[in-house]
Amino acid sequence: MNKSIKLQDLGTKDFKETWDYQEELFKGILDTKIRNRRENLNVQTDNYFLFVEHPHVYTLGKSGAISNLLLSEEQLTQKGATFYKINRGGDITYHGPGQIVGYPILDLDNFFTDIHKYLRFLEEMIILTLAEYGLKTERSPGETGVWLDVGTPFARKICAMGVRASRWVTMHGFALNVNANLGYFDNIIPCGIRGKAVTSLNVELGVEKVDESQVKEKLLKHFKTLFEADFE
Residues 200, 208: contact at Cβ < 8 Å? no
91 annotated as a binding-site residue: yes
162 annotated as a binding-site residue: yes
- Secondary structure in 3-state letters for the chain: CCCEEEEEEEEECCHHHHHHHHHHHHHHHHHHHHHHHHHCCCCCCCCEEEEEECCCEEEECCCCCHHHECCCHHHHHHCCCEEEECCCCCCEEEECCCEEEEEEECEHHHCCCCHHHHHHHHHHHHHHHHHCCCCCCEEECCEEEEEECCCCCCCEEEEEEEEEEECCEEEEEEEEECCCCHHHHHHECHHHCCCCEECCHHHHHCCCCCCHHHHHHHHHHHHHHHHCCEEC
Question: Catalytic pick from 127, 159, 191, 198?
Answer: 191
127 annotated as a binding-site residue: no
9 annotated as a binding-site residue: no
Please tell me the distance from the alpha carbon of residue 38 to that of residue 36, in angstroms, as a whole number: 6
96 annotated as a binding-site residue: no
174 annotated as a binding-site residue: yes
Please tell me the distance from the alpha carbon of residue 15 to that of residue 50, in angstroms, as a whole number: 13
Phi, psi of 56 (to 5 degrees): -50, 120
88 annotated as a binding-site residue: yes
94 annotated as a binding-site residue: yes
15 annotated as a binding-site residue: no
Would residue 159 show up in a list of annotated catalytic residues for this protein? no
222 annotated as a binding-site residue: no
- Indicate the annotated binding residues: 88-95, 160-162, 173-175
Q: Which residues are catalytic?
A: 191
- Which residue ranges make up the annotated binding site for substrate? 88-95, 160-162, 173-175
